[in-house]
């Protein structure tokens, strides 16, 4: 005979943390929870009412069908998962076995039943859009900068442990007979963060060759406009075909080595033709005894493109890889 599945005693609807106190959380061993536990302290520092309101904006608001999962449970499970670097199934198992984690999620009593199926994490992550995450982060940071609220203890006479032992606490009260002085400032704290913009692409061989090819096409246009006199024919660059060849491979997420090598070979041939045409146009400048058309920065860039072509041609011919030049 199958035993009925034990359900959580808490309601599936969101309950404000102001209604959850330590004295009402009953463990299976009739033990009292430690008010100084990290999950209890964190539960009281997070503005659940505000961040759950941001999360609930993604819901349809319909009263039909099964009630949705509590926003505190969904957000709290995500926080537990990422703080401990657990996978989805491990997170559910740890919550199922740990009474402090269940208190963090807002339950009023301990239960051994899974809080929800691990596959539901997929839907929760879909609802946590960038807009929702930014709003939640702002609420958490704003609450963190505010003074921490007082914890409700189990017993009336019991006080939660402080981060600083009583003997190490500094007495800020003014001495007898003296006036209170302003708190002293011990300096400035300088913080720094290193970030990498997402729009900076990794310099792969194919991307470097495509960028170099586009630069040579621009230089050919500049030279031809300056030399155009009705007698000179503009060299063909096949830029549209070259661009299509590049995009057909660059947009493919599953590129084989053979496909990449074939695409690199095409870009090398396009780049070689463009460099040859640039030299022909520069020779026309010399025949007309005109001043060299490129400034120093373009000359340097053109030299880099030549070096890049030689390097990539050598790597392509010998099936080898070495350090690449970034344009």
pLDDT at residue 246, rounded to an integer:
92
Three-state DSSP class for residue 26: strand
The DSSP letter of residue 60 is: -
Nearest to 82 by CA among 19, 157, 23, 133: 133
Q: What CA–CA distances, in Å, run from 199 to 118, 196, 210?
A: 33, 9, 17
Spatial neighbors of 284 by CB under 8 A, at least 6 apart, are 227, 232
Evaluate if residue 198 carries a pLDDT over 60.
Answer: no
pTM over 0.75: no
Q: Which two tokens stand for residue 316?
A: 């392509």
| Model confidence pLDDT, tens digit, residues 168-193 | 444 555 555 445 566 666 667 666 65
38-51 average pLDDT score: 86
Predicted local distance difference test score (pLDDT) of residue 268: 94
Instruction: Of 53-57, 124-128, 134-138, 200-204, give the lowest mean pLDDT range.
Output: 200-204
pLDDT in tens, 121-176: 888 888 888 888 888 888 888 877 776 555 444 444 444 444 444 444 445 555 55
pLDDT at 197 over 70: no
Q: How far apart are CA 55 and CA 74, in angstroms?
A: 9
pLDDT tens digits for range 255-304: 898 999 999 999 999 999 999 999 888 888 877 767 778 888 888 999 99
pLDDT of residue 148: 57
CB 306 within 8 A of CB 261: no
């Amino acid at each position: 005979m199958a035993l009925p599945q034990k359900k959580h005693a808490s309601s599936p609807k969101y309950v404000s943390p102001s209604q959850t106190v330590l004295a009402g959380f009953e463990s299976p061993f009739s033990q009292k929870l430690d008010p100084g536990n990290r999950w209890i302290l964190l539960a009281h520092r997070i503005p659940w009412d505000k961040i759950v309101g941001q999360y609930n904006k993604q819901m349809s608001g319909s009263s039909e069908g099964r009630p949705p999962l509590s926003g505190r449970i969904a957000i709290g499970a995500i926080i537990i998962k990422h703080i401990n670097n657990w996978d989805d199934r491990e997170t559910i198992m740890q919550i199922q076995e740990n009474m402090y984690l269940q208190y963090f999620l807002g339950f009023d009593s301990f239960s051994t039943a899974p809080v929800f199926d691990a596959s539901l994490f997929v839907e929760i992550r879909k609802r946590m859009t960038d807009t929702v995450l930014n709003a939640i982060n702002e609420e958490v940071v704003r609450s963190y900068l505010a003074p921490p609220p007082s914890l409700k203890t189990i017993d009336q006479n019991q006080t939660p442990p402080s981060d600083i032992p009583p003997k190490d606490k500094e007495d800020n009260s003014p001495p007898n007979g003296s006036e209170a002085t302003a708190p002293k400032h011990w300096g400035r704290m300088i913080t720094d963060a290193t970030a990498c913009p997402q729009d900076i692409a990794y310099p792969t061989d194919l991307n470097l060759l495509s960028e170099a090819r586009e630069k040579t096409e621009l230089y050919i246009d500049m030279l031809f406009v300056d030399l155009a006199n009705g007698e000179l024919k503009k060299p063909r660059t096949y830029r549209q075909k070259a661009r299509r060849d590049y995009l057909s491979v660059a947009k493919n997420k599953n590129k084989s080595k053979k496909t990449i090598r074939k695409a690199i070979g095409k870009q090398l041939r396009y780049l070689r033709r463009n460099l040859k045409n640039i030299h022909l146009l520069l020779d026309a400048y010399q025949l007309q005894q005109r001043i060299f058309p490129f400034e120093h920065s373009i000359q340097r860039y053109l030299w880099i493109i030549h070096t890049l072509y030689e390097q990539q041609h050598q790597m392509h011919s010998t099936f080898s890889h070495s350090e690449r030049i970034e344009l």
